[in-house]
Amino acid sequence: MVNTSPLNRIPSEFSAVTSVLREARNTNNVSISEIPAPARLAPYSYALGAEVSADETFLRASGEAIDELATGRIVVLYDPSSPEEWEGQFRVVSYIRAELEHELGNETMLGTVAWTWLEEALEANDCEVVAAGGTTTRVLSESFGTLADRSSTIDLELRASWTPVIAEPELIGDHFEAWIDLLCTVAGLPPLPEGVSALPGRRR
């Protein structure tokens, strides 16, 4: 969903980029939908949410089925003034959360590994970026009392942002495809296979 500043005409550059992202479609285990965009981060913004669903083969150690492997949102910001910290007019902001197997969740290098997943996804999709940054967080959930029979879980939260270097609007699609690949990787699934795209008409 697009957020724009009151009384402002939507710039053609931003409109062209959002037109590309509006073509996003569900694929394989990934469901994609427009979500409300934040209003205070930039004069113009557009947001998509995605969920990676599981099938019966994904079980916790306790034998419980996992319905949702990962969830996330991606926001494209546009500020014609080119904020100094962005180093450009566009900015991509990402949030991904996924439940991990305990062995991986307790890995001391998890944060570094997760950031490497992002870098590899961007590189694999030929994305040029500047001013990339982010954080990783591990969330341990334990249940007590009447909920004591629930298994403990470890979730990974990956927050990241970067400035996409795009000479033409269509190139934002590469960044979206990279984000979908990252979402799948964090969920424990392989990236979308060759020839499959979340954006119709695009070849991978």
Q: Are 154 and 99 in contact (CB under 8 A)?
A: yes
Give the residue with greater pLDDT, 107 vs 141.
141
Q: What is the pLDDT of residue 28?
A: 77
In this predicted model, what pLDDT tens digit does every residue of 101-120 receive, in sequence order? Answer: 656 555 667 889 899 999 99
- pLDDT tens-place string over residues 59-68: 555 556 666 7
* CA–centroid distance for 85 within its chain: 21
DSSP per residue over 131-171, as a string?
A: EEEEEEEEEEE---GGGTTSPPEEEEEEEEEEEE--SSGGG
For 150-191, the pLDDT digits (tens) are 676 788 999 999 999 999 999 999 999 999 999 999 988 876
91 within domain boundaries:
yes
Average pLDDT over residues 25-43: 91
Average the pLDDT over 60-87 and give the result: 85
What residues contact 84, with CB distance under 8 A and at least 6 apart? none
Q: How confident is the model over 26-38, as a mean pLDDT? A: 91
What pLDDT does 39 receive? 87
- Spatial distance between the Cα atoms of 52 and 31, rounded to a whole number of angstroms: 7
Q: Write phi, then psi, for 187 (nearest 5 degrees).
A: -75, -10
**pLDDT tens for residues 124-138?**
999 999 999 999 998
The residue assigned the tokens 């990339």 is: 132
Per-residue model confidence (pLDDT) at position 192: 59
pTM listed for this prediction = 0.84
| Tally of domains within the chain | 1
**Position 194 in a domain:** no
Contacts 24+ apart (CB under 8 A), 139-144: 140/105
Domain hosting 119: range is: 2-187
8 A C-beta contact, residue 35 and residue 22 = no
Q: Is the pLDDT of residue 149 over 80?
A: no
The answer to the question of residue 192 being in a domain is no
Dihedral of the CA atoms 112, 26, 38, 120 (nearest 10)? 20
Q: Provide the β-strand partners of residue 132.
A: none
**79 within domain boundaries:** yes
Residue 201 lies in a domain: no
Residue 202: per-residue pLDDT: 44
